[in-house]
Structure 1
Amino acid sequence: MVMDSRGRLYVANRGNKRVEIFDQRGTYLGQITNAATPYGLAITSDDVIYVADGTAGSEGLTVVNTRNGNVLSHIVGMTGAHMVTVDRRGAIYVAEVRGRAVEKFVRVR
């Protein structure tokens, strides 16, 4: 689970292949269904959500703009991506279960 700048809660629902969105009272607000199967979530201060997908055959990381639901990018080639976090400088860290590694991705400018 992660919370955006507006206080909305994003919950990874791996079994139903979606990220569900709730307000702080628990009222259902919607869902993100274009980000594969969510295993782990991270969100930045500008409300970009990172969704780790550890499903065999589709393993990777999907980046979604929560304000409009658009997929911004997709990073592939991981082995069992389970957890994700993003640091203040924008570096992305993905923990891989089957790969037994932590991958770091840095944007080249």
Structure 2
Amino acid sequence: MSKKLEELKEILDKDYSCDKPELYPSRCSSCKSEDLKLGKSEWQFSYGVVTGIPGVICIKCGQSFLHSDLLVEIEDVLEELGYNDPNIKLDLSDLTEK
């Protein structure tokens, strides 16, 4: 695993774990449902699609919510790794499995 991906793993494990619900909204901003679950989701970055990101997902409409600081961290790592093709898919699930 590259040093940058290892750094990202440490960030995900320590700061943005799904075990920290206080980092995420308690209500869906799309449908206003409070039926949210912690889980792994997918996000479209300018550098490609990243899956396996910790966040919360609305049970009712499927909207994902990720911590904005985490999105910045991931985008920075992708840029440093040289990802610049929006068709690239990166799965972080393996990094965030306990």
Instruction: Please report the TM-score for the alignment, with normalisation by the length of structure 1.
Output: 0.25
Between Structure 1 and Structure 2, the one with more strand by share is 1
Identify the structure with bigger relative contact order (alpha carbons < 8 Å, sequence gap 6+). 2
Instruction: Please report the TM-score for the alignment, with normalisation by the length of structure 2.
Output: 0.27
Between Structure 1 and Structure 2, the one with more helix by share is 2
